[in-house]
Structure 1
């Protein structure tokens, strides 16, 4: 990566209705202890934390043109407060001033910047009778699961995308909504970590990408979200976490988030968190 620039979205008004009070409830929540469950690595390997899995970038990445923590814009859905901690997996030292990108689909399975692609690149859900004519031409573009090469944006929308810097403790927090799903993929959020660049008045410049991964949600939380609008109106067949072909099936090291929410009222909001153990000297573009 020769150079990358993040432009601040100074004219974009972003809101997350109810987020301020969405996480007050504690009765019936699910809570995990990340510190005792995830910080495991072999001492003989010279590491103090499990290295987070590198995964595919997917076709819908746009090089960080929104410098912000609240990426919600006008998207409806369950409020999600996402906190990530980025550390050097070998030394366990936090990475300060790293640039972290997140991007994901909305409740209907649509990515901003690619609305013409329909639900996750699979096109608009079919309606009416199936076609009877013989197919013609050669298929183009990524498969419905979204695992193909990078695609150029089809429009100027940028909801549910954003970039922000880690603090001196390696933490970065985003306000967004619980993602929906689309054909061929389980519920997930994409993430990148960039280091060795410089924050300027224009944004983040230079450096390299040391981590490209995805963040995942357990089935219990997804099933609860599916009972809430607008997720309940998503008629696309859902791929479960176990069925997903990209999730590496290695728990939190593979991007499985720790979640906290009221299981009786998940619509009030969800808190998600995870520590990303990365190799800052490596380049992982996904």
Structure 2
């Protein structure tokens, strides 16, 4: 399976920062013989997406469930279940799951001070973390609801490794949109939604989010809970 790398877009020097933040396409895999007993249809491997431009630099250093690091925003619990498409979509325990996402203002830790992100957060590591899946294939993170930045819909990056550290999947999580959704309730924090890129126009999600769309429940007053199952081939 080939993954298109985000850095290709960096070769176009005349592009604006919003364009640089856009990602390349995806690569879907379907393991036909396997079926997920908890849903109808085939057991489809999560699409491969770009890591960049702000991947965690040393992910093994951030084994933790609470990744807030003092950032303000609406509380959000992130629950990700990993399943093995090569084992009839049985849950996969012992997998390493890294996540990272932007803060309420659309900025990433470990980067900044450049044209791609003016605010310099190179020396901090908020909203990044790693957990090991339990016996139910589940990892749980305490975070905040992500903000947004130009050119992208609300999203979370995910990198899944085997217990031995072999990369199994780099993908992204999309959020439901529209009336009654958490995205609408948060309303871009102080930014509002003027200039927001919706899933249908997002360079990563515009070709479909079936395998990447999370369930998000809750409210701005009570906090939110995100849940998603991602299938990988081990």
TM-score range, shorter chain: 0.7 to 0.9
Report which structure shows greater RCO (CA 8 Å, sep ≥6).
1
Taking a change above 3 Å as real, the CA distance of residues 42 and 174 of structure 1, as seen in their structure-2 partners, is closer
* CA distance in 2 between partners of 1:267 and 1:251 (Å): 28
Taking a change above 3 Å as real, the CA distance of residues 42 and 51 of structure 1, as seen in their structure-2 partners, is closer
* CA distance in 1 between partners of 2:99 and 2:157 (Å): 5
- Among 41, 51, 58, which residue is 2:52 paired with? 58
Correspondence for 1:273: 227
Shift of 1:154: 6.7
SS at match of 2:216: strand
SS at match of 2:89: coil
Taking a change above 3 Å as real, the CA distance of residues 117 and 77 of structure 1, as seen in their structure-2 partners, is farther
* CA distance in 2 between partners of 1:42 and 1:78 (Å): 36
| Mapping 1:135-284, distance limit 5 Å | 155-197=122-164, 207-219=165-177, 220-226=181-187, 231-233=189-191, 237-253=195-211, 255-262=212-219, 266-280=220-234
* CA distance in 1 between partners of 2:227 and 2:207 (Å): 18
Shift of 1:252: 3.6
* CA distance in 1 between partners of 2:225 and 2:106 (Å): 21
* CA distance in 1 between partners of 2:205 and 2:132 (Å): 26
Shift of 1:234: 6.0
| Mapping 1:67-82, distance limit 5 Å | 67-82=63-78
Q: Which runs of 5+ in 1 are unaligned?
A: 1-40, 125-152, 198-206, 281-286
Aligned residues: 193
Shift of 1:95: 1.2
Normalized per residue, the structure richer in strand is: 2
Shift of 1:273: 0.4
* CA distance in 2 between partners of 1:165 and 1:108 (Å): 29
Q: Deviations over 1:226-255 (max 9, x none)?
A: 16xxx12468731111110111543341x1
Contact 1:99–1:194 at 8 Å: present in 2 too?
yes
* CA distance in 1 between partners of 2:142 and 2:76 (Å): 6
* CA distance in 1 between partners of 2:114 and 2:172 (Å): 21
SS at match of 1:250: coil
Contact 2:103–2:127 at 8 Å: present in 1 too?
yes
Taking a change above 3 Å as real, the CA distance of residues 54 and 193 of structure 1, as seen in their structure-2 partners, is same
* CA distance in 1 between partners of 2:191 and 2:221 (Å): 15
Could you say what the CA RMSD is over the residues aligned between the two structures, in angstroms? 2.3
Taking a change above 3 Å as real, the CA distance of residues 267 and 242 of structure 1, as seen in their structure-2 partners, is farther
* CA distance in 2 between partners of 1:73 and 1:276 (Å): 26
| Mapping 1:123-142, distance limit 5 Å | 123=118
Correspondence for 1:97: 94
Q: Which runs of 5+ in 2 are unaligned?
A: 1-28, 36-42
SS at match of 1:83: strand
